[in-house]
Structure 1
Amino acid sequence: MTTTDQSSASVTRPRQAVSAVRRRELAAFLRSRRERISPEQVGLVRGRRRRTPGLRREEVAQLSAVGVTWYTWLEQARDIQVSVQVLDALARALLLDPTERAHLFRLAGATDPTPATVCPSVTPALRALLERIEPFPACLQNSRYDILAHNRTYGLLLCDLEAVPPEDRNCMILSYTHAEWQSSIVHLEEAQRLMAARFRTAMAGHLAEPAWKMLLKRLRDQSPAFREAWERHEVVAHRGKRKEFHNRHVGRLFLDHTDLWLGPENGPRLVTYAPADDDTRRRLDALHALALERRPVAQE
């Protein structure tokens, strides 16, 4: 064996050892999460002869839409590839909370494709700024249109955003699949077309990233309108413009949209909506008052 071969082997062995440790930890973690869930929690019948604590392996495989043999190998710490789509399905089937989900993806050496409920870029200062902007609606978004944080007025602008699961709080998903959100946008078809074009522009720098590919697949699978817009291959840059909404609580709103970028690149941004006329300003005040009744300011 040459010196080069020896050096290469000395690097490979520690990596293999780390990978084996991760697989064992992942297997143990999956077993522990499986055993703590009762069949009733996931809509399954317990049966009289059940001896397994929690769920059986085949039940987890069924709930996750993966093969039983493949899932068994995963719990046996075998050296197999795990896609982010399968990890996402397992996290949902095993009812993982955000911390457990993040742990699952770290053990698998993968990047979680869904937006986190708490993002490192959302600092306490930015949350305070969102509150101080009220009654103007405002939110923090990333370049993928995930809504990372929002103030109370924005939470009632297009729908009851608090009722939307965190993993679905994405403006692309909501604009193409959420009925109430869509009904609040007066010029919906134009808005959808522009968003698809902006999304294509932004995605050019993220073509190989799982989170972007999964969002694109979901939009294509769930929305014929998105598929049609996407096939136009239109691209446009972000720019401020006047938008018209019909809010179910206070009526017609004319708002000037502005993006305030939080870095040198078009990544996270503060999205604000300022009233374009006095009637809209009064209606925003009313919407803010309603939002305060539903979600009061947290006490220190």
Structure 2
Amino acid sequence: MLDQYLDVNPEVAQAIAEGKPVVALESTIISHGMPYPQNVETALKVEQIIRDNGAIPATIAILKGRLKVGMTHEEIEYLGKTGLDVIKTSRRDIPFIVAKQADGATTVASTMILASMAGIKIFATGGIGGVHRGAQQTYDVSADLQELANTDVAVVCAGAKSILDIGLTLEYLETHGVPVVGYQTETLPAFYTRESEFGVDYQLDTPEQIATAMKAKWQMGLKGGMVVANPIPEAFAMDKAEIDQVIVDALTEMDAKGVGGKDSTPFLLAKVAEKTAGNSLKSNIQLVFNNAKLAAQIAKSYVS
């Protein structure tokens, strides 16, 4: 049934069939995360890092209505050039993008869904979505969190995006039984910074320990994903006080302009990049590289 919608790249399909390590990658970071050609260069570099660490990359998107798990360099180039004209696609959007034979860039939630369809268990990204600041009034909660509660994919990230209400995000994950693992850290990283005032559920210090926990969770039939929080490398971390003030200023501007819904995260990230003279984008790229490396190491251990 899935074959009429899903295209799994032959290299990726062979790796899955042979029990080799595969790491899923999202595509919103390509179309909406940074300008061309930097977006394509970054995407291809992330894929190369995964290969260098012994796994097969599977960048995921929807192209002309086809669910793509594992994209060619030409497809990544097309997505990068098309940029913001590609529809940012979460769970609710998938059937309509397919029906319209349109192009869709996958978020954390939709990447997890397509990865799971193909049988991929590990996914590397920048940061997960979560509960937005002021959600008590707006009810603005990312679909990423509900997907983590329901879909059996581990997400390697640099924690929750620091534009979010991290405390409420953790409360939501706890309520839905999603474990938050800190890789070699007992505090949750906050995307641009290595630490926050919040703790993780478990600190695990090796990729092997994380893979073992993943196996135990799913072999026992415990539904849902896992957050693997991997701190940004110290050399690229930003000053916490500085980034916190930048985010407050960006939130104020967002409210004044009436930006909300799926437009809020791209708006805030763009404003943070602008207000930090591009330093936040450099940090963002480096933390994605770091997460890709760890995800590949976990994937290798998971299939061994």
Question: Normalising to structure 2: TM-score of the pair?
Answer: 0.24
Question: Normalising to structure 1: TM-score of the pair?
Answer: 0.24
Choose between structure 1 and 2 for higher RCO, CA contacts under 8 A separated by at least 6 residues. 2
